[in-house]
Amino acid sequence: MRIFVHDYSGHPFQAQLSRELARRGHDVVHSTCRAYVSGKGNLTGDAGGLRFVTIGDGMRLRKEAYVRRLAQETRLGFELAQQVRTEKPEVALLSNLPIPVLVATAVVLRKLRIPWVLWHQDVTAVALKSFAAADVARSMGIAAKVLGAGEKWSARQAAAIIVIADSFVRVHKRWGTAGKVTVIPNWAPLDEIVPVSRANSWSSEHALDGVRTVLYSGTLGLKHQPILLVRLAERLRERGVPVRLVVVNDGPAVPVLREAAGARGVDVTLLPFQPYERLSEVLGSGDVLVVLLAPDAGQFSVPSKTLSYLCAGRPVLGLMPADNTAAQLLSKAGSAVYPPEESALAAAAAWAEEVLSDPARAEQLGKNSRALAEREFALSGCASQFERILRKASDSEYRRRR
């Protein structure tokens, strides 16, 4: 099959899937968006039926400027649509697209009679409703309704839909699209993110050797309540366990963290996203890795950083809803999950103190994390499911129905 994969975020496991599909003999074009700033996976190495292409070159999205971002994303949608038109695939797989990009691409795919599969990573309509209800973004109410309608319409155009958690199925039942939904949980690339020594070249470069570290690496928006990271470090200091808070991120949370850490006297290292080939060292430099997820995102988002943390074989502290799929994985690994709120920080800090003060326990938690990842993240089974769904979507019967 000629397969076009677009993962807007450029995450590691989507690229790994494209490599596996190419290894199985398919002609795969893997597209990502350079304008979206995030931790990227291995997006190089054209070979053996796989090519990497991009959209958004020379553009940087203004995430906090909603009107301008809407215009940028609409432009990116037309750019992606033109890319699909040029590549002429038999089937497309679309993941992590903002709604304006998704709608524009769906319109063109419909016109070209190219079947496509929606890889639904987040239910954006739900997130937009919560933003619209929040004090920070009441003006988004109308936009939330319009974009929510766009997401629903796009889902109805897809030949098939892959969701990452059972909770998504309820949304698709409301939309009338549940009949074409398959649940395939996310994973992380076991061969690319591996356990390394706590003292490594990256930790040495950033003066982290011999320093107790609480580390966060990945996307971090203001709605995640990044202040919780500073407050967690402050609580640990109050318990007589001083730590260095290390945050690897580019975005609006960085100045907020810098100001809060300075005001509270928290020792902090703020770094931009690091090269993907060094991610194992980055994560290996954290004595405790922290993941944040807002309460209202719990059922419709699975933070991929959690999956990377497990691959890295480190103790993980989740400040997130307990019903989230990633939280359930952490619980299986013996790590800790607490509600993402101030009232839970005392208990979270107590757990982190126990781990930081007991090297043997920390080592065992790390082994548990890696063992769970190896059980849960086997690529071959997931790739076979994707391959089967893509083959079915690309059949001539679907094209005639369009």
- How confident is the model over 62-119, as pLDDT tens digits? 666 667 888 889 889 999 999 999 999 999 999 999 999 999 999 999 999 999 999 9
pLDDT digits (tens, 9 = 90+) for 294-333: 877 656 677 889 999 999 999 999 999 998 888 999 999 9
Distance CA 244, CA 268 (A): 6
pLDDT digits (tens, 9 = 90+) for 387-402: 999 999 998 555 545 4
Domain 201-376 has CATH 3.40.50.2000: yes
- C-alpha to C-alpha distances, 59 to 15, 45, 54, 62, 95, nearest whole angstrom: 22, 23, 12, 9, 20
Which stretches of 134-252 are DSSP H helices? 141-157, 167-175, 201-205, 227-238
Fold agreement (2-187+378-401, 201-376)? yes
pLDDT digits (tens, 9 = 90+) for 249-258: 988 899 999 9
Position 167 scores a pLDDT of 85
Contacts of residue 264, Cβ cutoff 8 Å, sequence gap at least 6: 230, 231, 234
Structure tokens at 332: 């299986």
Q: Is residue 244 within 8 Å of 272, Cβ to Cβ? A: no
Q: Structure pTM?
A: 0.87
DSSP designation for 336: E
Which of 18, 99, 88 is CA-nearest to residue 52? Answer: 18
CATH architecture of 2-187+378-401: 3-Layer(aba) Sandwich (3.40)
Give residue 138's pLDDT band: very low, low, confident or very high (50, 70, 90). Answer: low
Position 141 scores a pLDDT of 60
Q: Where are the domains of the chain?
A: 2-187+378-401, 201-376
